[in-house]
Structures are given as C-alpha cells and as structure tokens.
Structure 1
Amino acid sequence: MIRRTVCAAGRALSASRRCFSGEGVPVDVPEGAAGPPHIAKEASLYVHWPYCLKRCSYCNFNKYIPKESNDHIMTTCLQRETETLLQLSQVSRITSVFFGGGTPSLAPPSTIAAVLKIISKHVNLPDDAEVTLEVNPTPAGMSKLKDYCRAGVSRFSIGVQSLQDEDLKNLGRDHSSHDALQTIEEARRLCPGRVSVDIIFGRPRQTVESWERELSELLRVCDDHVSLYQLTLERGTQLFKQVQSGRVTVPAEDVMAQMYQHARETLQQHGFLQYEVSNFAKHNSVSHHNMSYWKGRQYIGVGPGAHGRFVPLGEDGVLREARTQTLEPDVWIYEVQKRGHGTRRRIQLGYLELLEEVLVMGMRMTRGIYHKHWELFSPHVGLHEAFGASVEVQDLLQSGKLILDDRGLRCSWEGLALLDSILPALLVELERQILPRLSDGRITKTSNPH
C-alpha cells in the first residue's frame, strides 16, 4: 500500500500524506532552522476545510456535504482556532501553510486571506512561505485560482486523479479530463513551477498499458511536481462495497506493483526525482510543507478533524503532544465558539512513540534519516546501535533493500517500493532496543534535549 503506511509492532501509526541510481543522491532539501525539531519555535500549519459537494466512491476522509452555506461562521472559527493553537504552541514562526480537505477550493478566497492574516498577526509568516491550496479541477475551482493567489496562495495541489473520463465518473469525481487539463494550464500560468498534480493508479479495470498511455499524457502537461497514489480500498466506502460484492474488480497487487515501478522509471526519465514514496519533483520543487511532516517537525492542525504535533504552553517535560480536533463541523464550530478551539483528544507521546513516528515518517523519504537528525530525538541510542544488531535488519542490508552507513538509514531504490514490509522489522527492533533502557532508567522522559 503506497498511499498509507501501516506500521507493525502492535500499533498503527497514522502517516496523515527517489531517485537513486544504485544508491544515488536524493533531492537536496535544506534543513531549515537549527535546534531540536520537537521543541523548535517554528512549525507548519494545516487547515482543514471539511466540505465537499459530493463524496467520491473511494474516499473516507473527514468530509461533509453542507446543507447550507456557512462560510462566514467557518471563516471566523478557523481564525479563532488558529489564534488559540498558535498561542498554546508557543511557536514564533510558521514555515508553511497547507489548506486541505474536503474541498478547500470551495472556500471563498476571503477565507484563505483571513486565516493567513490571523497567522501573520500573531507569528512570523515569511513573505516567501509556501502556502498550498488543494484544488478540485472543476470550472468553478479554476475560476477562483487568480483570487486565491491574491489571497496569499503560492502553490496549488490539483486533484486530477485520472485523465480518463469513464474512470473519473466511476470514482465519483465531479470534473472531466478536459476540466483537469484546463485547470493545470491556468494554475501553471499563475504559479509556474509551483503546481502539483495528484493522480491515482490501480483503478478499476485499469491495465499497465492504459496506465502507460495516461502517464505519458500527464507528463506532457504537468508542472514540476507529481504525487502518485495507489488506490486504497477503504472500509465503508462505496468502492469497497462494490469490490467486496464482486461488481467491480481492481488490478491484482503484482499488477499495481508493476504500474508503480513503471511510473517511477518514466518519471525519472522525464527529469523528476523521487524524494518520497509517492512524490516526485523537478527543479527541487518539493512540497516543503509535507517535508516538515516527514522530518518529524512540529505542525499545528486547524479545522474539523485536523491533527497536530507540538509541545503546548506550560507542558514541561512533554516530548510532544498529539492533538486531534473534533470531526463533525457543527460540533467543532460550537466548541470553538465556546472555548476557542475544538481539540477533542490530547495524547502525550512517550519517548518510544516519538521515535516510532520519526522512524516511520523519515523512512518514507529517499534520503531516509541522517545520523544527526536521529540524534536530535535519540541522543543516547544511535541508528547503528538501534538497528545494527538485528538479524532481520542485517538480512535487509545484505539483500540491498536497506542501507545503513555513515550517512544514515534509508531504503534503496528497490527497498522503497517494499517499505511496508521493511518497516515492521525496524519497528520491532526499535522497541526491543528502547523499552529495556526506559524500564531500567538509562533513558528517562526528560533525557531528550530541551
């Protein structure tokens, strides 16, 4: 499964969204501000717009069909929750903002401007900060692109998903391939080099041959970033029920693996460097917002169902807190109006849990995890000490799927395609190395640098 990585060792860690020649050289991404990422005074910020006009057959994201427009109330509440969580997080700088959903391109441009204004009022939001908006490529979405740019958006992520009209219809999408191509063209005109295209493979009745043709067509029109997702059958969705009942069939796992490998090779031939399991960029046009997730940095989640990771105000000794906002928009609105935020769940991450997240997210990148980066979170147990003694990990190293050297820990080109089968071995070994040290006091909750 490429879109979501399910982690073993008795837990599932949410991974909320390479180009190697042999071992290869990954895309060079600046490290940013110095200092331990779990307590840094900077963070990225995610804003969730929960509404859609319809529900796609494959989607189980937190989205709702609105009964009536409440744009003004949503805008006010998004501003207020942003303000509250910024104050609780103690951050002084927001490095990137991502408006996701749902369908955030249904939100008025004035909402985007209002949220960005409240961020700038309380913390430093650099003029060149990456501000991304997910766009549904309908004529209505395209017509507002210029206004979104004026509101402060500097990057578009376009949910093309397919260039086959019949597939779009079966997936429940409300745009056509013509709509998608026009939207890409307009977005590239407004934000050249800063337009990402999302596409799904492994769709019902899709073949390797039809996928090759579609990918070639996409590469003729796309900009400098492509996000490539394998279709995942999510329980409770219409598509899941159709496949379970036998009314619809999807390609076999080996066929989807072939599609993925073909896409990687084709994108490489066209100058796209793979820098993460599902993401490819030319001219270093990586998603800096998503990179902050994969590097284990702090992020603030605003809006119904949003997730966050930061150290709250006054929480001495806390390594990091996982926060989840209330899912239902109406209830979330009530809670924000009543107490300034709609946080439904707060979980203090333990030392092992924090390292698990750093491991799972870091291994998604082609660069993997550098020694110095790991030491920021685990100053007492290095990568060699954590994983070097494992027989199973040694087998992965010997087979060439995994690389552990002076630079750090990462998957090879072949290994990255098998990440889901590699992570369980790493997680089991991490637990085996860390738990005894926690229990006998060699590592304490406060031994991580602050």
Structure 2
Amino acid sequence: MSATTMLRRVSLGAAKSFGVGSGRRCCAEAARATRTEPGPAEPSRLLKQASVYVHWPYCLRRCTYCNFNKYRSRGDSGDSAMAECLQRETETLLGLSRVASITSVFFGGGTPSLAQPSTIAAVLETISRHAHLSDEAEVTIEVNPTPVGMSRLEDFVHAGINRFSIGVQSLRDEDLALLGRDHSSQHALQTVAEARRLCPGRVSLDVMFARPGQSLERWERELAELMSVCDDHVSLYQLTLERGTHIFKQAERGQLTLPAEEVAAAMYQAARRILLQHGFEQYEVSNFARRNAISHHNTNYWKGRQYLGVGPGAHGRFVPLGEGGVVREARTQTLEPDAWMQEVRHRGHGTRRRIPLTHLGLLEEVLAMGLRMTRGITHQHWQLFSSEADLYKVFGSSMDVKELLLSGHLILDDRGLRCSWGGLALLDSLLPTLLLALENQVKSESKEPPCDR
C-alpha cells in the first residue's frame, strides 16, 4: 500500500480526526461498535487535564471536496445563538469532566474565522472560569485566507488566540477554483504574512497535493514557493474523493482525473525530502515542524489524552466524573446546528451518542493514533493505559508482527514501538496486523484463571 492511503485530515481537531459529518470512523472505533461493556478505570493522572475542540459549523460556501459537518451561515442572528450555545455546552462538559486544567483549545470547522472575535473570547472566558487555562496554553483557530479572514486576525489575537492554522491548500489559482475555495493565492500569501507578523513561529499552513492534473514537477515547484513564505509548521494532505462531494461526481463522470497512486506516493516522498532540506522535522504522518513548533493540541490526540468536543458534530473522549463515571467515553454531539442548539438549551449539552470505551477499545485508539507519530509509543506511555501487558508482551510474540519487524517497517526496542521512515507511509496497511495482535492478547488475558493468593 502506498503513502497515499495515509493522508486524511487529522490535524484539524477531534471532530475531523474521526470523520465528523462524513460517516467515516477510524478502524479502532469501527471495531468497537458492538463492544460497549465498560473497561477498567483510568489512572488519576490521566483525568486531571484535557484539551478542548470547538466546532464552528458555518461556512460561506462548501468546497467541492469537503464532506465535513458544515452549513451555510445565516448571518449575525444565527451566529449569536451559536455563540451562546457554545458557551453553555463548554460549561456543561467541563462540569461533567471535572478536569482541573485545559492544556490547549482548537477552534475548527466549518470556517471559525467567520465567528466574531467576541465569540472566541467568550468561549475562552467560559473555560477559564471552570478550569485552569494557562497563558502559555496553545489556542488555535483555523483561518480561511480571504480578505475577511485576514481582517480579523488581530482581533482574534486580542480575543486570546495565539496560533493560526491557515487553509492555503494551493498556490495555484486555477486549482483553488477547482477545489471551490473562496480565496486566491494572493489572498493566501497576504494572510500568511499578516499571521506571521502577529504570531511569529506559531502559524501552520494546510496544503493539499495530488490535485486533478497536478504533476510531480509542478508539486515540487509549488513546495519550493511555499518554503519561501511559510512559517514553522506545515500540514500536508492528499486530496481524497469523498462520496457525495461535487468533485467525486466530476470524477465519476470522467470530467477530471487525479494523479495515479504511484505519482501521489512520489509527491508525498518528495514533500518529506524537501521539507527536511528546509529544516522541518516530520513528527507525524502529515505534520512537519521546525524550531519545535509542533501542534500541542493535535499531539494530545495522538497520545490518547482526554479532550472535550464542543459544538455540532464534535467528538470527545473523557471520563464523566461529574456523573460518577469511571471509564472513558467516546462522545459525539448532535450534527445539525438547530437540533444541537435546541438540545443545549434544554439540557446544557447536545451529546447525541455515548459509548463507554472497553479496555481493548481504549488501547486500540492509543495504538492507532500513537503510531501516527514518528516517535511512536514509548513503553512508559503504553503503561499508562496497559499496566498488565507491556509492548513486548502484546506484540513481541505475534508471528505476523515479527514479519513486520523483520521487513524493517516496524521497530520494537527499548524506546518503544514505532514505524520506520518507510513504514510510516504504509501505516494503514500495518495497523490491521497490530490491532489483531492486540485483540488476541487482551482476549487471552481475560481467559487466564485467577492466581492463587
């Protein structure tokens, strides 16, 4: 399997990492769907902190490739109601989780840069009233690089934002038009420059490759141009055809074609090489940083830490201590904004689905997300979630896993479990083997007879 299978959008927050509004679920969540019996309680050290993802569902238009949970904005009156309910649900979920400290906040969407800066400030103030939010905590907002988006950057900083994630996607105007974006390459460059002025070293650029008609040579030239203007963080995503989107229908009708899988894989490898040459370290499948400008918020996801999902369609993972819960739950908020707002007004939150995570389900997520990082999963980190069976016990005895180790795609040593440079691009093809080994080990533990005491 090529690198092209790996590059779905996961750096935009929890809602997107689990396919909000798309019907997609990660392999661990799908495997868990019929296993809802509670697992063991989590160590108290994991319960004290969490991140917050806030989903702003409105956009001015829908991009041709997008199937995320988003809706057309209905103006200031609708936005005001949304702002009020975001604050209410934030307060409720903080009370349910009883976390003492929020380590990061991410405003995603949709197009959260359409929200009023006062809304951003109000949500952050709500968080600060109910948990500790350090002045050093990473607070990110996604920005659509239009003139309107750029005009609000300074106000967002005054509201409490200290990091921008800018959806550049392409520096080619014809490709931006094909993707349905409402900005030009010039708008993008101007927005990036202003964001870097306001938050130097804390600006991330989203860039998409394997676009229709794109060649490897054009992609390399575009990356070289990007390197001359970017800050210290870049997220690369392969364009994938999602059923139901406009671009999917165009491809079905033969009106456009995407680069072949082998070409897309070569684009990914070329990007890794070029970014490395410009001082960027790859720290996750799709994410690159220099001068240690990693996304702390997204790293929390990949390390299996708690997060609260606020807003229509947002996903969360936390232990509801306020309700007497002892195991982590996978929570999904109601998708449609009007229905979500009605539920928030009625009971304080719009949680539509709650699934208590089994011990196996939690370990599946820790494994699948942790291996996305180039550093993988350390023995110490795994022990936080699996005190009984260490990495060697879980994976060291599997013949199929041993084949992956011998092939050089996977590494299991004193540091922990991780993919090699080549294996990281093939993670989707490695995970089924690893998940099966994990499931077999957990099942064998449950069948072991109790020891004599």
CA shift for structure 1 position 138: 0.2
Please state whether the residue corresponding to 1:125 is helix, strand or coil: strand
State the partner residue of 2:16: none
CA contact (8 A) 1:38 1:297 kept: no
Q: Note the alpha carbon deviations across 1:137-181, whole angstroms, 9 max, x for none.
A: 000000000000000000000000000100000000000000000
Q: 2:58 aligns with which of 37, 48, 51?
A: 51
CA shift for structure 1 position 281: 0.2
* 1:184–1:314 distance in 2 versus 1, CA, 3 Å: closer
CA shift for structure 1 position 37: 7.6
Matched, 1:340 2:348: yes
Q: Note the alpha carbon deviations across 1:312-333, whole angstroms, 9 max, x for none.
A: 0255563310110000000111
**CA distance in structure 1 between the partners assigned to 2:195 and 2:390 by the alignment:** 44
CA contact (8 A) 1:38 1:311 kept: no
Identity of aligned residues (%): 68
CA shift for structure 1 position 85: 0.2
Structure 1: where are the runs of 5+ without partners?
15-34, 444-450
Q: 2:164 aligns with which of 153, 156, 161?
A: 156
Q: 2:73 aligns with which of 58, 66, 76?
A: 66
CA shift for structure 1 position 440: 4.4
Instruction: Give the counterpart letter for 1:11 in structure 2.
Output: A
Matched, 1:428 2:436: yes
State the partner residue of 2:14: none
Please state whether the residue corresponding to 1:196 is helix, strand or coil: strand
Matched, 1:2 2:6: yes
Q: 1:253 aligns with which of 240, 250, 261?
A: 261
Instruction: Give the counterpart letter for 2:152 in structure 1.
Output: K
Q: 2:185 aligns with which of 177, 186, 208?
A: 177
**CA distance in structure 2 between the partners assigned to 1:370 and 1:10 by the alignment:** 22
CA shift for structure 1 position 391: 1.5
Instruction: Give the counterpart letter for 1:2 in structure 2.
Output: M
Matched, 1:204 2:204: no
**CA distance in structure 2 between the partners assigned to 1:362 and 1:390 by the alignment:** 19
Please state whether the residue corresponding to 1:127 is helix, strand or coil: strand
Query: What TM-score, normalized by structure 1, do the two folds share?
Result: 0.91
**CA distance in structure 2 between the partners assigned to 1:78 and 1:49 by the alignment:** 9
* 1:7–1:114 distance in 2 versus 1, CA, 3 Å: closer
Instruction: Give the counterpart letter for 2:73 in structure 1.
Output: P
CA contact (8 A) 1:55 1:172 kept: yes
Query: What TM-score, normalized by structure 2, do the two folds share?
Result: 0.90
Instruction: Give the counterpart letter for 1:200 in structure 2.
Output: M
CA contact (8 A) 1:8 1:428 kept: no
Q: 2:389 aligns with which of 373, 381, 386?
A: 381
**CA distance in structure 2 between the partners assigned to 1:36 and 1:97 by the alignment:** 23
State the partner residue of 1:371: 379
Q: 1:302 aligns with which of 310, 319, 322?
A: 310
Instruction: Give the counterpart letter for 1:119 in structure 2.
Output: I
CA shift for structure 1 position 437: 1.6
**CA distance in structure 1 between the partners assigned to 2:170 and 2:429 by the alignment:** 28
CA shift for structure 1 position 439: 4.3
Please state whether the residue corresponding to 2:299 is helix, strand or coil: helix
**CA distance in structure 2 between the partners assigned to 1:227 and 1:407 by the alignment:** 26
**Aligned runs of 1:149-298 on 2, under 5 Å?**
149-298=157-306
Moved more, 2-11 or 162-171: 2-11
**CA distance in structure 2 between the partners assigned to 1:111 and 1:7 by the alignment:** 31
Instruction: Give the counterpart letter for 1:365 in structure 2.
Output: M
CA shift for structure 1 position 376: 0.7
Matched, 1:122 2:130: yes
State the partner residue of 2:366: 358
State the partner residue of 1:30: none
Q: Note the alpha carbon deviations across 1:400-425, whole angstroms, 9 max, x for none.
A: 11100001000010100111111111
**CA distance in structure 1 between the partners assigned to 2:447 and 2:100 by the alignment:** 36
CA contact (8 A) 2:91 2:127 kept: yes
**CA distance in structure 2 between the partners assigned to 1:7 and 1:304 by the alignment:** 19
Q: Note the alpha carbon deviations across 1:252-304, whole angstroms, 9 max, x for none.
A: 11111000000001000100000000000000000000000000000000000
**CA distance in structure 1 between the partners assigned to 2:347 and 2:325 by the alignment:** 25
Q: Alignment length, in residue pairs?
A: 423
Structure 2: where are the runs of 5+ without partners?
11-24, 34-41
Instruction: Give the counterpart letter for 2:138 in structure 1.
Output: E
CA shift for structure 1 position 7: 5.6
**CA distance in structure 1 between the partners assigned to 2:347 and 2:280 by the alignment:** 46
CA contact (8 A) 1:156 1:196 kept: yes
The RMSD of aligned alpha carbons is 1.8
CA contact (8 A) 1:204 1:248 kept: yes
Please state whether the residue corresponding to 1:175 is helix, strand or coil: coil
**CA distance in structure 2 between the partners assigned to 1:293 and 1:97 by the alignment:** 12
Q: 1:11 aligns with which of 20, 30, 42?
A: 30
* 1:378–1:296 distance in 2 versus 1, CA, 3 Å: same
User: Which structure shows the higher helix fraction?
Assistant: 2
* 1:317–1:222 distance in 2 versus 1, CA, 3 Å: same
CA contact (8 A) 1:39 1:311 kept: no
CA contact (8 A) 1:38 1:298 kept: no
State the partner residue of 1:24: none
* 1:314–1:116 distance in 2 versus 1, CA, 3 Å: closer
* 1:230–1:9 distance in 2 versus 1, CA, 3 Å: same
Please state whether the residue corresponding to 1:297 is helix, strand or coil: coil
Q: Note the alpha carbon deviations across 1:369-412, whole angstroms, 9 max, x for none.
A: 00010011001111011111112211111111110000100001
**CA distance in structure 2 between the partners assigned to 1:323 and 1:37 by the alignment:** 20
Instruction: Give the counterpart letter for 1:155 in structure 2.
Output: R
CA contact (8 A) 1:7 1:424 kept: no
CA contact (8 A) 1:37 1:296 kept: no
**CA distance in structure 1 between the partners assigned to 2:386 and 2:450 by the alignment:** 12
